[in-house]
Amino acid sequence: MKFTAAQIAQYLQGEVEGNPEVIVSDLSKIEEGVPGTLTFLSNPKYTHYIYTTKADVVLVDKSFVAESAISATLIRVESAYQALSKLLQLAESMKPKKVGVAPTAILDESVKMGEDCFVGNYAVLGSGVRIGNRVKIYPHVHIDDNVSIDDDSIIYSHVTIYENCVIGKRCVVQAGAVLGADGFGFAPDEQGHYQKIPQIGNVVLEDDVEVGANSTIDRATMGSTIIRRGVKIDNLIQIAHNVEVGEDTAMAAQSGVAGSTKIGKRCILAGQVGVAGHLHIADGSVFGAQTGVPSNIKEPNQLWQGYPAMPVGTFRRLSVIQKQLPDMHKKVYELEKRIKELEK
């Protein structure tokens, strides 16, 4: 569809600077902008592209100050990134909606399904499954007995959801994710052989949770592994049994959380963060990439880095010292040598 800059600005409650009648029909990256597209600027690292982009319309923050002439029409908004998100949501909502049950899907006769749902080919829904309104279940999904999926959630292809799990409203589970597999529970006997501990709990996703592709969330030994409202989980993440992840926490790829750890609200785990088991992580904690967390984090709203996790200022000073260690070692060796000569 085609929109003028004026129409877009009205929808975003923004201000047009330039030609309000210029028409765009697609989106582009600012460094690859072409005529007829809209792009955005939110990261200062890309500011230089705004002076050369071929895109016709650029979303910018109201605080943006141009240093030279810009050929594109600007739409000034409070947050260019949030405005782009709003436009993408609009574009997504305008796509045709799939509805109905595909002929090769297998649904137990006890399945209860709401209005305007979609179930793709070769999807399997077990006994006692309850599906809300406008839920989308893509091909090759396996949903085991007594699973509940609430309104407007989307389950993409090849997802497996084990028995008794609960999925809230507006959740998105990306392809290949596994919810409710057994937690890693084993106990050694007198001979040192591991005996499996049955995992009889479930997984609960509250509303507005997103789980990335090929991520795994294990069922609780007893009770529930709980992912609270608004949590965003990237691809390739492991969450162990009985973990609780607080509201609006975000976890980037290849992070892992061991069993029974409680992560607070609004935390951020950058890529490859590892959190040990049975810990409590304070609200607002931010862990840089590859941070290892072996003990409780009690101070809220702090930035941590390294292993063991330490305040980021300490980590940076330590990094500087580590780079100097070869020269320091050489100097110590020379000093030791001179001291021995003086002693002689």
Q: What is the dihedral of CA 253, 257, 261, 267, to 10 degrees?
A: -20
Of the residues 61, 93, 125, the one at which a domain ends: 93
Of the residues 93, 122, 144, the one at which a domain ends: 93
Checking if the pLDDT of 6 tops 90, the result is yes
How distant, in Å, are the alpha carbons of 20, 249, 255, 344 from that of 270? Answer: 40, 11, 7, 56
Interval 132-166: pLDDT, tens: 999 999 999 999 999 999 999 999 999 999 999 99
- Do 193 and 279 share a domain, yes or no? yes
- Do 131 and 192 share a domain, yes or no? yes
Interval 206-217: pLDDT, tens: 999 999 999 999
Exposure of 239 by Cβ count < 10 A (0-12 exposed, 13-18 middle, 19+ buried)? buried
- Do 67 and 139 share a domain, yes or no? no
Q: DSSP assignment, residue 283?
A: T
Confirm whether 203 is domain-assigned: yes
Confirm whether 336 is domain-assigned: no
Q: Which residue type occupies 99?
A: V
169: helix, coil or strand? coil
pLDDT more than 90, % of the chain: 87
- Do 61 and 137 share a domain, yes or no? no
Q: Which residue type occupies 20?
A: P
Element (H, E) at 173: strand 172-173
pLDDT at site 96: 84
Residues comprising the chain, all counted: 344
Instruction: State the pLDDT confidence band at 323, using cuts at 50, 70 and 90.
Output: confident
Confirm whether 344 is domain-assigned: no
Confirm whether 233 is domain-assigned: yes
Q: What is the CATH number of the domain that holds 261?
A: 2.160.10.10
Strands 118-119 and 136-137: parallel
- Do 88 and 110 share a domain, yes or no? no
Distance separating alpha carbons of residues 162 and 108, to the nearest angstrom: 15
Please enumerate in sequence order all residues whose Cβ is within 8 A of that of 10, keeping only pairs 6 or more positions apart, or say none. Answer: none
Interval 157-189: pLDDT, tens: 999 999 999 999 999 999 999 999 999 999 999
Note down the domain range covering 10: 3-93
Question: What DSSP letter does each residue of 181-216 carry, written as one string?
Answer: EPP--EEE-TTS-EEEPP---EEEE-TT-EE-TT-E
pLDDT at site 321: 87
Element (H, E) at 69: none
Interval 230-239: pLDDT, tens: 999 999 999 9
Q: What is the CATH number of the domain that holds 14?
A: 3.40.1390.10
Cis peptide, bond prior to residue 103, ω within 30 of zero: no
Confirm whether 66 is domain-assigned: yes
pLDDT at site 71: 94
Of the residues 64, 93, 122, the one at which a domain ends: 93
Distance separating alpha carbons of residues 334 and 326, to the nearest angstrom: 12
Q: What are φ and ψ of residue 166, in 5° steps? A: -125, 125
Confirm whether 130 is domain-assigned: yes
- Do 267 and 122 share a domain, yes or no? yes
Interval 49-73: pLDDT, tens: 999 999 999 999 999 999 999 999 9
- Do 88 and 127 share a domain, yes or no? no
- Count CB neighbours of 161 within 10 A: 30
Cis peptide, bond prior to residue 311, ω within 30 of zero: no
pLDDT at site 97: 85
Q: What are φ and ψ of residue 187, in 5° steps? A: -125, 130
Instruction: State the pLDDT confidence band at 304, using cuts at 50, 70 and 90.
Output: very high
Interval 91-131: pLDDT, tens: 888 888 889 999 999 999 999 999 999 999 999 999 999 99
Distance separating alpha carbons of residues 148 and 206, to the nearest angstrom: 11
CA-only gyration radius of the chain, Å:
26
Per annotation, catalytic residue among 241, 278, 280, 329: 241
286: helix, coil or strand? strand
Q: How many separate domains does the chain show?
A: 2
Checking if the pLDDT of 220 tops 90, the result is yes
Element (H, E) at 160: strand 160-161
Instruction: State the pLDDT confidence band at 28, using cuts at 50, 70 and 90.
Output: very high
Confirm whether 273 is domain-assigned: yes
Please enumerate in sequence order all residues whose Cβ is within 8 A of that of 108, keeping only pairs 6 or more positions apart, or say none. Answer: 125, 126, 127, 128, 129
Confirm whether 47 is domain-assigned: yes
241 flagged as catalytic: yes
- Do 177 and 106 share a domain, yes or no? yes
Q: DSSP assignment, residue 237?
A: -
- Do 105 and 250 share a domain, yes or no? yes
Please enumerate in sequence order all residues whose Cβ is within 8 A of that of 215, keeping only pairs 6 or more positions apart, or say none. Answer: 174, 177, 178, 233, 234, 235, 236, 237, 238, 239
- Do 115 and 246 share a domain, yes or no? yes
Interval 32-48: pLDDT, tens: 999 999 999 999 999 99
- Do 151 and 285 share a domain, yes or no? yes
- Do 45 and 165 share a domain, yes or no? no
**Highest-scoring range by mean pLDDT, 133-142, 179-188, 308-317, 333-342:** 133-142
